[in-house]
Structure 1
Amino acid sequence: MNKKKVLVIDDEQIVLDSVRKIMWGEDYAVETAQNGREGIQRALKNAYDIVLTDVRMPDISGKIVLREIKRAKPALPVVIISGYATVQSAIQCMKLGAANVLEKPFTPDELIGVVEEAVAQSAQAVPDEQGLIHEREIRSILERAATDARFAGQLNQNGPDALECYRLTQAEKLALLTGDIEWLEQYMGILAPEYKNVLLQKL
């Protein structure tokens, strides 16, 4: 029987070593990456059954890691690893397509339980649409954020909660909340400067 493959992305070596030790004993093959960019490259190049990523890293956030992996491999489950100070960000990631949140420090049973549940659920889930299909809604959001400072602040602070009343896919929400101008312009054409200014605040 082939081992399930796990990719762990975290800038703390102690976390990488801990996950590797625990999961190896449960018959999982574990690979690691010490920053978000390396993690994305590995996730897109190789086949994994699940990815675990820290929500906050020095180079790029776990939210961007989630965005890039889900865009290329929408069926691949991504679990967010969170410290106490970043729990709110991790919960926001769940609303954007993450399979679950694993809070540090975690026990072996907690880690194994989260991984096994996420892998099992992904086998039955229908992947979310990854293209842009709600252009009118997105333009409305950008226009509102460009002219309404209160709404722009809500987008920065609350992310997915500020978008609840809009009909958007998780991919579209991730693009807006991570300032992915390049991806949006692939579908919408060149964005107005005031729209770009809204998105640049997300980078």
Structure 2
Amino acid sequence: MENASSSGLQVLLVEDEAVIAMLLAEVLYGMGHHVCATATTEAAAVAAAARHKPDLMIVDEKLTIGSGSSAVAEIMRHIQVPYVFVSGALLRNETLNPMAVILQKPFTVNELVGAIKRAVATAAPPHP
């Protein structure tokens, strides 16, 4: 991916709970990734994605202002970015994009690693 640093992916976090965002950022840094921005609203997520062109987005579906799925839909109209939805509520792929990778809170680091791998693999163009 073009924005990936030698140490990992550039990640946009879309999470309106500050403690969860900090914990996710810490885990992502520990995995070798870089958090290029954290957005707490749908509008901020769209603006941050346009500005930073991340390699991956970790998106909370339920935001205080707006929704994660609406933010992803708007972002994907302009750039294609792999993403993982995280939520404390039960989400089903039928309510989102059928290819959406969904991670239920609470989750383990291993589950996050697997979800990131699935999201990146799903978004990667097929090899000729």
TM bucket, shorter chain: 0.7 to 0.9
Larger radius of gyration: 1
The residue type equivalent to 1:87 in the other structure is L
The residue type equivalent to 2:15 in the other structure is D
Task: Give the alignment's TM-score, normalised by structure 2.
Answer: 0.83
Structure 2: distance between partners of 1:41 and 1:13: 19
Structure with greater helix percent = 1
Query: Which 5+ residue runs of structure 1 have no aligned equivalent?
Result: 126-203
Structure 1: distance between partners of 2:96 and 2:30: 29
Structure 2: distance between partners of 1:91 and 1:106: 21
Instruction: Name the residue aligned to 1:87.
Output: 91
Aligned-residue sequence identity (percent) comes to 28
Task: Give the alignment's TM-score, normalised by structure 1.
Answer: 0.54
Query: RMSD in angstroms over aligned alpha carbons?
Result: 1.7
Report if the CA contact (8 A) 1:63-1:93 is conserved: yes
Matched, 1:5 2:10: yes
The runs of 4+ residues in structure 1 deviating greater than 6 Å are none
- Aligned length, in residue pairs: 120
Structure 1: distance between partners of 2:24 and 2:13: 8
Matched, 1:66 2:72: yes
Report if the CA contact (8 A) 1:91-1:101 is conserved: no
> What does 1:143-182 align with in structure 2 at a 5 Å threshold?
none
Report if the CA contact (8 A) 1:10-1:36 is conserved: no
Which has the higher relative contact order, 1 or 2, with Cα contacts under 8 A spaced 6 or more apart?
A: 2
Pairwise CA distance, 1:118: 1.1
Structure with greater strand percent = 2
Query: Which 5+ residue runs of structure 2 have no aligned equivalent?
Result: 1-5
